[in-house]
Structure 1
Amino acid sequence: MADGTYVVSRYDDIMKFGKLPIMSIVDPEWVPKGPWAALSKTVLGFDPPAHTALRRRTNRWFTPKLVQEWVKAAESAVNEALDRLQPGAVFEANLELGVIPTHAAMCSALQLQTDNVEPVHAAMLKAMAALSAIADKEDDQRAAEAFKYLRSRSVELVAYKRQNPGDGLADALLEAEKSGEMTEDEVIQTISLFWGSGGHNPSFFVGAGIEYFARHPEIYELYRKQPESRAGIQNEILRLNPPELSFVRYPTEDVEIRGTHIKAGERVRFLLDAANRDPEVFPEPDKLDPSRPPEAAQNLSFGIGPHACAGQVISRAGADTIFRVISDRVERIELAGEPTYDVTDRSRAYVALPAKVSHAAH
């Protein structure tokens, strides 16, 4: 790229080089300190072994067994949204069926309130824009304001938890602070990360599924009538629609990729979306093929290596639950206008997904 960034786009190369221990997530000295420094004391700011220790602290809250408890909140939120809908009414599907339910699932894990979800989602849109390769000063300023909001809300949530203790993830973080294992700032940043992002990326997965089902009613019919097809359809929707399109690393020592010598400390951007459509790995890569065996080549939509998405288990379980409720209760999904998106080279999200549904007869 013009700014000296090296770009890696092939599936096999990303699988090989993206997971190398020398590929650091930590910004070198030459990289200006940006708004994402607001989360520098979370798993996003460290390489192993420090990263491993931080990850271990939260991973136990997102086991396949536990997330089935957390996603009950998503199930309730979807049912409530569908209960409110009048036949033929146009509604904001990304918000009602994506953002609110997935945020509720994360809040259930944290044992935090689910209010103010729309400002949280808006803040994450601004924050993600600053990660783009072409982010400017205005993007950085908006992201800084977004992180200021997320932190202020997290401070309020922490204060509430101190007065109203429970047994959720937020409580466990406060116990770690009490025992001296974490600082107050680390607790606040970690809650900002999980509480802020819990309804952001997962909601795009859900929204992409809703849009695809609306545009391809035959696939939705297959999903409804043949439960054995659901895992394959979900995996393909996720492959074709990763919420995060790329990630950046800085090698801590010189490395050669496809004959190109990259010096230590130079920026390398790995393109997940391109890898997910690599024709050498996924024949007819732009086609949603429910019969494509997931074990043949796993898509990279949740990232790879030690920094793969910490919330992917709850994200997948939440989406599965939401799609199940929709398929049980909704006979047909239609778009009520063209969706609009917030898209950069780094991430994408729905701004609007107007839709209407026809309830299934029971």
Structure 2
Amino acid sequence: MRPTERQLRAQLAFFHDFIRIQGAQGDPYAKVLGVPDNPYPHYEEARARGRLHRSTLGSWVTADHGLANQILRDRRVGVRKANGEKNPEFIAFDNSMLGVDPPDHTRLRRIAAPTLNHRMADGWRSRVQEICDRLIDDILAEDGPFDFMTAFAQRLPVAVIADLVGIPERSRADFHRISRRMVPLLEGVVTYEQTQSTEAAIKEITELLVDIIAERKAEPRDDMISRLLPLVDDGSMTMAELVPMVTFVPLAGSETTVNLIGNGILALLTHPEQWRLLAERPELAAGAAEETLRYDAPVQQYRRFAHEEIELAGWKVPVDGELTILAGGANRDPQVFPDPNTFDITRAVGADTLAFSAGIHYCMGASLAKAEAEIAFATLVRRIPRLRRAGPIRRGGSFIIRGMAEFPLATR
């Protein structure tokens, strides 16, 4: 039975109070869930408790890079419980790759691969450059302080995703508006109002996509929807799977890119010597994207459930035991990254970062996200070399997605 508004509000209030109390008593994971402006000292506290420790909130927690990587690649764990019960974090992602385990995940990932692969990302570079230049033209035309998140960081990935998915021009404003209302689904819905808003947004975007799908069926184009529709016809996937795939996978990918770009520009401006270095050596833009993913990752943690009893770092985790991977902490593990709290765009990060997860749930859009950030950083430092902060930032309220709601900047 669906809880009433009063019951849901009471449950959420109890949840927040419990976290606050446990955090005050010293539990590092509870402190992280309190969404501090700077969670990184709390990741160090978690690491100091061992490679794996049991939080007073019940989850087994790790900030150890090696163990985190191992868990994310372990086929004995999944995003759902052993009996298939969904992780509450992914309730809205039913039938999408984000919320299912093999064999459904394997099948859906294989279907999506042709649209979200490395070669596809390389082919989109000229389009990304075109959108970057247009957005910067608009910013320079205003000639005054602006919010970087709404003027650039949000608009670039959404424009790219709209092209990729196949959203017609007349529907893009609605697609952008509804997509922004759905972001709390990735962040972890924490208020009654967010619950209501996101449920309404799911209904609205489904209605929007049903119309677009019908249009693409009659007139196919070179986009994700058109490529997937024949698979519905031949039975490889269902319409109930197609709609979530063209909704939530692009949403997850675009939101990661939004905050990769925002966090990267914040880090570069906070470390002006790195901004100057990038201006002198624009070929370091790819390194700036990689270092941002390590230093201040858009996705800070992942949750998994044990599908059988498993032994990890001396602990026996029971069936359905919840495992929390503090990726933001693992990406600053001093055993893997020397001088981990230093932002250095010349660092050789490589594939060691867990910013896009690992194993079968590794983000398929990682190459496109990195390409967008690389082009954005190089273009911004070239066209607005005197970019500077113009006021205090306002962060989002998520313990999963790390980014900014407002980021005031000036062009000179």
TM, length-normalised to structure 2: 0.79
Decide whether the 8 Å contact of 1:6 with 1:267 is kept in 2: yes
- Return the structure number with greater helix share: 2
Query: Are 1:290 and 2:345 matched, yes or no?
Result: yes
> What is the identity, as a one-letter code, of the residue corresponding to 1:214?
L
Decide whether the 8 Å contact of 1:223 with 1:230 is kept in 2: yes
Q: Deviations over 1:148-185 (max 9, x none)?
A: 33323322332332344212111111111122222111
* Shift in alpha-carbon separation, 1:198–1:247, aligned structure 2, 3 A: closer
Decide whether the 8 Å contact of 1:78 with 1:96 is kept in 2: no
Matches within 5 A, 1:1-362: 1-28=55-82, 34=88, 36-84=90-138, 85-86=140-141, 88-113=143-168, 114-116=172-174, 118-130=176-188, 135=190, 139-295=194-350, 298-358=352-412
Q: Deviations over 1:216-259 (max 9, x none)?
A: 23211211211343332221111112111111111111112221
Moved more, 101-110 or 160-169: 160-169
TM, length-normalised to structure 1: 0.89
* Shift in alpha-carbon separation, 1:79–1:337, aligned structure 2, 3 A: same
Aligned-partner SS, 1:284? coil
* Shift in alpha-carbon separation, 1:340–1:163, aligned structure 2, 3 A: farther
**1:33 offset after TM fit, Å?**
7.2
Aligned-partner SS, 1:61? coil
Q: Deviations over 1:262-297 (max 9, x none)?
A: 1011111111001011122112211112332224x6
Which aligned runs of 4 or more in structure 1 are off by greater than 3 angstroms?
27-36, 135-143
Moved more, 286-295 or 173-182: 286-295
* Shift in alpha-carbon separation, 1:264–1:275, aligned structure 2, 3 A: same
Decide whether the 8 Å contact of 2:79 with 2:87 is kept in 1: no
Decide whether the 8 Å contact of 2:154 with 2:258 is kept in 1: yes
> What is the identity, as a one-letter code, of the residue corresponding to 1:68?
D
RMSD over aligned Cα atoms:
2.3
Decide whether the 8 Å contact of 2:98 with 2:249 is kept in 1: no
Q: Deviations over 1:172-205 (max 9, x none)?
A: 1111112222211111111111343342110100
Decide whether the 8 Å contact of 2:300 with 2:328 is kept in 1: yes
> What is the identity, as a one-letter code, of the residue corresponding to 2:209?
S
Decide whether the 8 Å contact of 1:7 with 1:268 is kept in 2: yes
Report the Cα distance in structure 1 between the residues aligned to 2:390 and 2:120, rounded to whole angstroms: 36
* Shift in alpha-carbon separation, 1:74–1:314, aligned structure 2, 3 A: same
* Shift in alpha-carbon separation, 1:137–1:81, aligned structure 2, 3 A: closer
Aligned-partner SS, 2:396? strand
Aligned-partner SS, 1:248? strand
> What is the identity, as a one-letter code, of the residue corresponding to 2:344?
D
Aligned-partner SS, 2:137? helix
> What is the identity, as a one-letter code, of the residue corresponding to 2:159?
A
* Shift in alpha-carbon separation, 1:34–1:47, aligned structure 2, 3 A: closer
Partner of 2:44: none
> What is the identity, as a one-letter code, of the residue corresponding to 2:319?
A
* Shift in alpha-carbon separation, 1:231–1:198, aligned structure 2, 3 A: closer
> Identity over aligned residues, as a percent?
23
Report the Cα distance in structure 2 between the residues aligned to 1:223 and 1:50, rounded to whole angstroms: 43
**1:35 offset after TM fit, Å?**
7.4
Report the Cα distance in structure 2 between the residues aligned to 1:28 and 1:147, rounded to whole angstroms: 27
Q: Which runs of 5+ in 2 are unaligned?
A: 1-54
* Shift in alpha-carbon separation, 1:352–1:160, aligned structure 2, 3 A: farther
Report the Cα distance in structure 1 between the residues aligned to 2:159 and 2:283, rounded to whole angstroms: 27
Q: Which runs of 5+ in 1 are unaligned?
A: none
> What is the identity, as a one-letter code, of the residue corresponding to 2:257?
P
* Shift in alpha-carbon separation, 1:43–1:176, aligned structure 2, 3 A: same
> What is the identity, as a one-letter code, of the residue corresponding to 1:304?
A
The one of the two structures with greater contact order (alpha-carbon pairs below 8 A, sep at least 6) is 1
* Shift in alpha-carbon separation, 1:341–1:87, aligned structure 2, 3 A: same
* Shift in alpha-carbon separation, 1:197–1:15, aligned structure 2, 3 A: closer
Report the Cα distance in structure 1 between the residues aligned to 2:85 and 2:205, rounded to whole angstroms: 24
**1:302 offset after TM fit, Å?**
0.7
* Shift in alpha-carbon separation, 1:30–1:109, aligned structure 2, 3 A: closer
Q: Deviations over 1:22-44 (max 9, x none)?
A: 01112355967747333221112
